[in-house]
Amino acid sequence: MKLQRKNRVRALAVGALAVSGALALTACGSDDTTGGNGGGGAAKASNIKCEGKGKLLASGSSAQKNAMDVWVQNYSGACKGTEINYQPTGSGAGVTTFLQGQTAFAGSDSALKPEEVTKSKQVCKGGQAIDLPMVGGPIAVGYNVPGVDDLVLDAPTLSKIFNSEITKWNDKAIQKLNPDAKLPDLKIQAFHRSDDSGTTDNFTKYLKAAGGWKHEPAKKWEGEGGQAASGSAGVSSQVKQTSGAISYFELSYATSSKIPTVKLNTGAKEPVEATVDNASKAISEAKQVGKGDDLALQLNYTTKADGAYPITLVTYEIACDKGNKAETLPATKSFLTYVSSKDGQAALKELGYAPLPTEIADKVRATVAKIS
């Protein structure tokens, strides 16, 4: 059963990638009017209220790309007249494009900064941009070490690896955490994101909070040394093909490419694996720090609860609370209503994402309903 499930998850993720084609996702390209496409959970066309016609442009987080692929495919089964084009350009680029008024909404793995909210008032006439949590999940630490298929690391060791202070896989610090592993005398090839990335922001927030990271957390990589690649697809591809490699990316990329992932020594009774359920346990500890309809969350990166995986992220869809463009408002609201619905959230788990906790999901649905 476990092998069958893994194969099914991989097939779903690969299928989702195929749907995206050249990263242009079109809601008019499917002949499936029932939403029964197998893409991470069939959408029921009767539960999707289609509003608006024409093209809806969006961009941002590559962390949610696999989720967005499936959402658009499912939405297309019901809404033939709407073309949705989501470009996974990275969180930083997505926010910039949105603030320039070029897209209807953006995806970001980090909440908006105060200055970005202020700037958004130029685009959101009479309102401002708000953060809507939509996708949750673990940031997996994937590795490629010949002969090692079970690896435990902790935050201090990860911080030193990604800051080029630990450079060999048989380093004493790694050996101490893995006394039974046959660690090779192999150079560590640490890969990080070249683009401004919310995944990087969340990963370095974890390193700072739990591992003594020497740099300030940011979307732009600040660590010393290492090698860079663009997007989650880029760094996961490098890990897959490079002996000695290690990097950070969403679990769906590890699952689809069969990349082994690190278990974390958090101080809990047992090392914690990067799984959807374990990430959900950590995300459930998040606190809302946004005001009013802004649902920005503060995650707990230092949890020591048994079975709670602390390297998590929440991807936000960023949209205007008021002042959305008349030509894109109906479709934007319709699409965000679907992705935040029970059907939309149910499509996530088999792709390696964590559906939103009920309390958070209810707030998101209520807020989306008020967008104008």
pLDDT of residue 349: 82
Residue-by-residue pLDDT tens, the chain, 372 positions = 434 444 443 433 333 333 333 233 333 332 232 333 334 444 454 589 999 888 999 999 988 998 999 999 988 788 988 999 999 999 999 999 999 999 999 999 999 999 999 999 999 999 999 999 999 999 999 999 999 999 999 999 999 999 999 999 999 999 999 999 999 999 999 999 999 898 999 999 999 999 999 999 999 999 999 999 999 999 999 999 999 999 999 998 999 999 999 999 999 999 999 999 999 899 989 999 999 999 999 999 999 999 999 999 999 999 999 999 999 999 999 999 999 999 999 988 878 888 888 889 999 999 999 999
Measured between alpha carbons, how far is 200 from 109 in angstroms, rounded to an integer?
9
pLDDT of residue 46: 52
CA distances from 23 to 87, 134, 276, 365 (A): 6, 20, 25, 27
**Backbone phi, psi, residue 327, to 5°:** -75, -20
pLDDT of residue 291: 92
b/e per residue, 68-88, with b = 16+ CB within 10 A?
Answer: bbbbbbbbbbbbeebbbbbbb
Residue 82's DSSP bridge partners are: 54
pLDDT of residue 159: 98
Give the Cβ contact number of residue 58 at 10 Å. 26
pLDDT of residue 5: 40
Pairing of strands 263-264, 287-288: unpaired
Identify the residue whose tokens are 């994402």: 353
